[in-house]
Structure 1
Amino acid sequence: MSNLEQAPLVVGISGASGVVYGLRVLEACRELGVATHLVVSRSAVLTLAQETDLTLGEVQAKATLAHRTADIGAAIASGSFRTMGMIVAPCSVRTMSEIASGVTSTLLTRAADVTLKERRPLVLMVRETPLHLGHLRTMVRLAEMGAVIAPPLPAFYARPASLEQMVDQSVGRALDLFGLSWKPVRRWGEDIAALEGAPSNGEE
């Protein structure tokens, strides 16, 4: 079975800064032969204009199928439509909070809610700092519901030489959570030699 015959990945792009993460997810999936269903929030359209020279149509063309955020009757709004899961990249605090509440008002948050109820992977690349207690409690609620909170933090051990490489490392590590291995990811012990006696990644 080819990747394109498998269930698609749902990609949400919300209004947080960092729209490039969503763009690279779409481009990575195309390289991997993975079908994508895209939904872009209204706020994300504004961010797109501020952070890139792309039009909404050009972004939608990167996906296998694009849905309007108001189309709550779209296939991805139903749990009977099979998907491999959903990634929201970037994920705004507002989007995160709406998903956590279960009271969804757009196709993006409805699709995320469906992903959770069907026990499929939901990866949220949350973009906000610093975080106050309300944000942290919302993240705890989402984690308890089964979501993966994956802020796009730079992996300096990969020795990125450009902003593009930093973005690709974060995107690739997020795609790992769906069992998708993307070539640009630099991996400890494979592309990066592990130093004998050095602490493992994440340890002090």
Structure 2
Amino acid sequence: MRAILKLKCGYNQNMKSIVEGGGTGDYVPTYNKKRQFQDLLSHKNDFLKNQEKKEALKIIYSELEDFLEDQTPDFDEFMEVIGRLYINGFEICDDFMETYGWGIYLGPSIMDHSCQPTAEVSFDGNMLTVTSIKDVEDLSEVYISYCDSTQPTPIRQEELYSMYFFMCACCKCSHSAHHGKHGTNIASNNKNSSRKKNHKKK
């Protein structure tokens, strides 16, 4: 609800959707434009194809209508917003990895997934810090893990597909599949070839 109200505050009649009302965006090193909320992927269609997720989101939308009343966006715009929040949000954790919040960090959200990450995320309050754990040449080589990378490959693949709608094909997953350790047969839902090696948000 807070995210929708913030987007509405930044919205004006020259914009096509409230997702454009997310402000000027965050600076991303080596990129020639700021990353804005509208640049994030929503995976709206993927959410709606899953009947269980769709029904749960309808309940959330109904509750939102109770609070926002005539300020409630239509269901299509709601999906564009909440999809971006779910796919690109960060769990804000303490030193014991206990979750106490959820936030959108436009700049850091550009980091893609690998089960063999080159960086890790930590929090001090709501301040997010990205720390490199391997040598990297530039931002294109910075990967974080969206899941517990110590879990067996089938569990990682199932979680990533369920939560983010992609099948990871990083070296760790590919090696497991090649050696017959991958016990899950979930069809890939990737829509572009840039996701072949790792999940790409760009």
Bin the TM-score by the shorter chain. Answer: under 0.3
Bigger CA radius of gyration: 2
TM-score (norm 2): 0.27
TM-score (norm 1): 0.27
